[in-house]
């Protein structure tokens, strides 16, 4: 009998797309993440929202994922950046339009401050398009800096952008 493969870390990801076939981009990203990063144990519904920050661009489709992985947070981030490049993401304008955006929002209860990775994601508490899908699949996930659950952060979030199921 084959024993199941247990993954030692739990990462909470936020994925988004606002260029091209947005829904297809999310599906392709999920396939790439499963092929290269670990096992997706939960995924939220897809949500649509206006662009946040740089608002002169198409609306985003966003989704949250729970990923079980053996990769460290830094190795996972490197892999996600590689997937973004494979899918045609170009970083030319800060907060600009993108075929795919892959972010680690939380990982275990880890805190990381490095050049290319900050955990928990430094702006997650201010973005309803991150919190709402994540609260759907992991309401009790814990923010180790604010000592609050995703559910609590969503209730306190001041973001007024409309986030609706797609």
Q: Which domains does the chain have, with CATH numbers?
A: 9-123 (3.30.70.560)
Q: Is the pLDDT of residue 161 over 90?
A: no
**pLDDT of 166 above 70:** yes
pLDDT of residue 94: 65
Q: Which residues are catalytic?
A: 89, 98, 101, 103
- Residue 36 is predicted with a pLDDT of 96
**Mean per-residue pLDDT, 49-55:** 78
pLDDT of res. 95: 63
Distance CA(10)–CA(141), nearest Å, equals 10
Of residues 39, 54, 49, 42, the one with CA closest to residue 9: 39
Mean pLDDT, range 65-94, rounded to an integer: 89
Residues 166, 151: Cα–Cα separation, whole Å: 21
And the tokens for 99? 């075929």
In this prediction, residue 155 has a pLDDT band, given cuts at 50, 70 and 90, of very high
């Amino acid at each position: 009998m084959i024993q199941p493969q247990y993954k030692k870390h739990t990462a909470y990801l936020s994925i988004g797309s606002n260029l091209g076939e947005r829904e297809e981009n999310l599906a392709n990203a999920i396939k790439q993440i499963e092929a290269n990063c670990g096992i997706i144990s939960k995924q939220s519904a897809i949500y649509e929202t206006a662009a946040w920050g740089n608002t002169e661009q198409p609306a985003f489709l966003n989704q949250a994922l729970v990923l079980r992985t053996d990769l460290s947070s830094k190795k996972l981030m490197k892999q996600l950046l590689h997937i973004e490049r494979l899918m045609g993401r170009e970083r030319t304008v800060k907060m600009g339009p993108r075929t795919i955006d892959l972010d680690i929002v939380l990982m275990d209860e880890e805190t990381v401050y490095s050049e290319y990775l900050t955990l928990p994601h430094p702006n997650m508490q201010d973005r309803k398009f991150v919190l709402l899908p994540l609260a759907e699949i992991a309401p009790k996930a814990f923010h180790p800096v604010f000592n609050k659950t995703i559910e609590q952060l969503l209730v306190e979030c001041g973001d007024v952008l409309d986030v609706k199921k797609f």
